[in-house]
Amino acid sequence: MREWEERLPENKFVRIHRNTIINLEYLERIEEWFNYAYQVYLKEFEKPETMSRRYASLLKGRME
């Protein structure tokens, strides 16, 4: 995953979990879940992905 994370453009892709990288263009919404985790809803996907609190803080920092 680290190799993919380094290869993909930083402004279009973000890691949301230790085994998940998403395209920000598909990001629809983020909702709080339990244990400080989040549910990430992507366009054209029925099931949400889980984002850990560690990656949530990194994503918030990038979006500010």
pLDDT in tens, the chain (64 residues): 899 989 999 889 999 999 999 999 999 999 999 888 999 999 999 999 999 889 988 888 777 7
**What pTM was computed for the model?**
0.83
Burial label, 51 (beta-carbon count in 10 A; 0-12, 13-18, 19+): buried
User: Is the Cα dihedral 3, 6, 8, 13 positive or negative?
Assistant: positive
Backbone φ, ψ for residue 19 (5° rounding): -125, 20
Contact assessment for residue 31 and residue 11, using Cβ atoms and an 8 Å cutoff = no
Domain that holds residue 24: 2-63
Nearby residues of 59 by Cβ (< 8 Å), 6 or more positions away: 14, 16, 51
Domains contained in the chain, number: 1
